[in-house]
Structure 1
């Protein structure tokens, strides 16, 4: 693959764009979580800035202000768990092609908001992927315009003040999801081969092996978010975080004020990322899962080459608080310890040396 930087060099085959993917996904449609307490989950997400789309007896759907009928689904369960996510396709023939893949479901009708049809697949790390087509958009909700900014060379705001409303920020859309996996090579290859994801930037360890891949949708000449899916080398399959776009930096800051005043737990921010350039702020839901407000992200067309960069805590942000060690610290319960030992024996991507290197870098 073409690279935007000459150093360092990837030592392994993945990630790389696929020359002829099965389909090309068009959008990240929704996330799927299981929660033992739907009411508590709803309180956090409404404070975070999502809107209620529909509530059933054992399922909750939330949306942003955009035209997507929902972007967040919570199913009632005894345990808290991230299940997977949905990807929107361009045509029904895309669904038919995916339905032919090993392990894929048949084409199924949807009763979720917006309707349509889906094919269910499981990626190499065990996450559910719902490929959907025919979902009908809903009417977008109004949201406030970005606040006019008085810059040094342009001052549009005269005889007027800045007073953003003191309320949860208006989330426009679900932007991206980040996963940790043991089987890094196979999982990256699966998404590039079957959904046409393009690696925007790759972070590598000192030996050249990839540790994090930021992947965008292939929308041709239409600009796409720097990453819709990111995959990080870990010792087990796990949800890292998801991100939600707001209108401007004041919305990010107001989100921090509101969530802090309402007693939710802060994770990291405010700052600006290096890869993707987003102004960000991260918060934890009642089960410790991280959710990010962001604005001002990079947009790439399909012809933008892949960048390769050294991984380090300093490579995570341009300014703001250094990424805290708690941000990447895994929960080491008995199930996680068993997964660690099992995957060290089984996964070709996971070695004790790699785990030690990552632990030294990120505490």
Structure 2
């Protein structure tokens, strides 16, 4: 059963000093763990069709593959395949490509691909979604293997794949560049008579971690992934004062049984527009992340938000915009959960997005003046004008409250 904790209460001490030290109170009670209340979403499906094991890759379309390749190298990827029409990049841990970018007239996110446990699960999923036209097919020779391609309720193209060609690992476990820096702390001397030096260079991405998607049909999309892919929720978030209406964001992990998996492989959030929000890529540690950020800054790239540490997932993060405006994240030291943990519940606030670090920026929150904000405003008007989605006036007011929090 989920653990249910009573709402935390402020102490007289906090009230006494709230005015004098207001800047110290934005994270008060931030780390209180609260479980589900009776009747709330359980965060998992009792009888899923299959259980995906990980995120395989993400697919994008962009008009300028040369400029895209340059940024991705600066970000820390290694190109593994490039033609006039397609670009693949990988992390140092090998496996499958992290990103597949195809040439197209406009920049857009095409969709994610997930790993099935085996070919039988690919077939099982195709049979379950055959009414939607799902069929097992061979993947391109540049990838290998088989897959099934479907559309989720938000319209995202989603692939589930198996037996893809495995890319070689680019570093060995004992490679100094793939290991965490040795630190002298906690009374343990690990670096006697040696200095600590970190080169300002690309961060050397190890692997793809997660993708975040926004949808105006949040509950429907969430339940679709839980049922068809066997994923389970690690944390729910709700708009302050609107918990009775249910969650508006979920951090979702793969169910690998007693083998821990990333706190979230997929995150879904309610919003007026169905769109990509960001994707995240693991690096080895804080030094690598920070030095890689300095390198990106020196190359003229735009930092959206960072460096800080998240609450849900606990990752150390650093967010950047690529040349086409897509948000991408370096992260390190994320949580890993097995399938025994029940979902946590927390209010969504801007200040609650991080444990430490600078305040969430207008760019990260999507309220920086520009084309993205204009698209979001147009989406608000469209969603409010139709009743075939979950984004109504009360939800809009909740979202505005989050942005001001």
For normalisation by structure 2, the TM-score amounts to: 0.85
Instruction: Give, in angstroms, the shift of residue 33 of structure 1.
Output: 0.7
Q: Tell me how far apart the structure 1 counterparts of residues 39 and 62 of structure 2 sit (CA, whole Å).
A: 38
Q: Does 1:27 align with 2:54?
A: yes
Identify the match of residue 123 of structure 1 among 143, 147, 152: 152
Instruction: Give, in angstroms, the shift of residue 105 of structure 1.
Output: 2.7
Q: Does 1:160 align with 2:158?
A: no
Q: Tell me how far apart the structure 2 counterparts of residues 121 and 262 of structure 1 sit (CA, whole Å).
A: 38
Count of paired positions = 362
Change (3 A) 1:35 1:15: farther
Q: Tell me how far apart the structure 1 counterparts of residues 151 and 92 of structure 2 sit (CA, whole Å).
A: 30
Q: Which residue of 1 aligns with 2:89?
A: 62
Q: Tell me how far apart the structure 1 counterparts of residues 223 and 319 of structure 2 sit (CA, whole Å).
A: 29
Is this contact kept in 2: 1:11–1:207, CA < 8 A? no
3-state secondary structure, aligned to 2:394: helix
Gaps of 5+ in 2: 8-33, 172-176
Q: Which residue of 2 aligns with 1:77?
A: 104
**Which has the higher mean CA deviation after the structures are superposed, 297-306 or 97-106?**
97-106
Q: Which residue of 2 aligns with 1:136?
A: 165
Instruction: Give, in angstroms, the shift of residue 337 of structure 1.
Output: 4.9
Instruction: Give, in angstroms, the shift of residue 339 of structure 1.
Output: 3.7
Instruction: List 4+ stretches of structure 1 deviating above 4 A.
Output: 3-15, 335-338
Instruction: Give, in angstroms, the shift of residue 69 of structure 1.
Output: 2.9
Q: Which residue of 1 aligns with 2:138?
A: 109
Q: Tell me how far apart the structure 1 counterparts of residues 5 and 248 of structure 2 sit (CA, whole Å).
A: 17
Instruction: Give, in angstroms, the shift of residue 343 of structure 1.
Output: 2.4
Is this contact kept in 2: 1:3–1:306, CA < 8 A? no
Gaps of 5+ in 1: none
Q: Which has the larger radius of gyration?
A: 2
For normalisation by structure 1, the TM-score amounts to: 0.95
Q: Which residue of 1 aligns with 2:357?
A: 320
Q: Which residue of 2 aligns with 1:231?
A: 268
Change (3 A) 1:56 1:4: farther
Q: Which residue of 2 aligns with 1:51?
A: 78
Please provide the CA RMSD for this pair: 1.8
Which has the bigger relative contact order, CA under 8 A and spacing at least 6? 1
Is this contact kept in 2: 1:50–1:171, CA < 8 A? yes
Instruction: Give, in angstroms, the shift of residue 325 of structure 1.
Output: 2.3
Q: Which residue of 1 aligns with 2:227?
A: 193
